[in-house]
Amino acid sequence: MTNTVLCDRSTDAAIAVLTLNRPDKLNALNAELLAELDATLATLSADATVSCAILTGAGDKAFAAGADIAAMLEMTTEQARAFSEMGHRVCSRIEKAPFPVIGAINGFALGGGCEIALACDFLYASDKAKLGQPEVNLGVMPGFGGTQRLARRVGIGRARELCYTGDTVDAEEARRIGLVNAVVPHAELLTKVREQAAKIASKGRLAVAQCKRVLFSGADVPLDVANALETQSFAMLFGTKDRAEGMKAFLEKRKPAFTGT
């Protein structure tokens, strides 16, 4: 690994803080960073002690300002396809992780950076953040799932407008259209996101994981199929120690001691 992605679990081992780490390039996404992010997420996903992850960018200006244009300049069609497929793998890895991934958008999240953000479970943005899919300004289009995830998050009409014009939106407009969940003063962003991550980590890890799985899997299937997925996961959780502990703790009026089993 080359430290283009940092992973910090020192504050709370249940929470992994992942930092895109190319600050001199505004954390622009190249193949090296994407491969390292994919590998880091794979390792965390296999670790049963991880309850939540935070994804942010190094420095004070950008989450990720986009894909690395210099690296893409001489790409052939086949190289572009491979790069797109790599971006899709990383976004899928985020969505399918057995724990929530919260995006802490600390500045520019443009192009590929916005697409990585869209794969997160939800987003909190600094009041300095700017988001968008400006690829048409370069004669290309989103390639890491931006057309699809943006439409699912903000609606097809607004997604068309943003993708066709290449316009960016500031943090407050992103909140208004549902692209981010909340806007936080820049200096307080990571503190606020850590608070939410800690709240999630205090819950039943298996229950949260099943909530994520069913919300993701049920979003694009008929309602009866989605409800069947919910019933299956609901019933499965009754076979866990965490379910017994959570209900017993409630009746005994104490804080539950979940173990993830």
Residue 177 CB neighbour total at 10 angstroms: 17
In the block, residue with structure tokens 């572009």: 80
- Which residues belong to the active site? 115, 135
3-state SS, residue 17:
strand
The pLDDT tens digits along the chain (261 residues) read 579 999 999 999 999 999 999 999 999 999 999 999 999 999 999 999 999 999 999 999 999 999 889 989 999 999 999 999 999 999 999 999 999 999 999 999 999 999 999 999 999 999 999 999 999 999 999 999 999 999 999 999 999 999 999 999 999 999 999 999 999 999 999 999 999 999 999 999 999 999 999 999 999 899 999 999 999 999 999 999 999 999 999 999 999 999 999
Identify the structural domains of the chain with CATH numbers, from first to last. 5-201 (3.90.226.10), 205-251 (1.10.12.10)
Distances (CA, A) of 37 to 63, 141, 199, 230, 259: 14, 22, 25, 30, 27
Tokens, residue 125: 């943005």
- pLDDT score for 2: 74
Residue 115 CA: distances (Å) to CA of 118, 142, 160, 237:
5, 8, 15, 32
Q: What is the pTM of this model?
A: 0.95
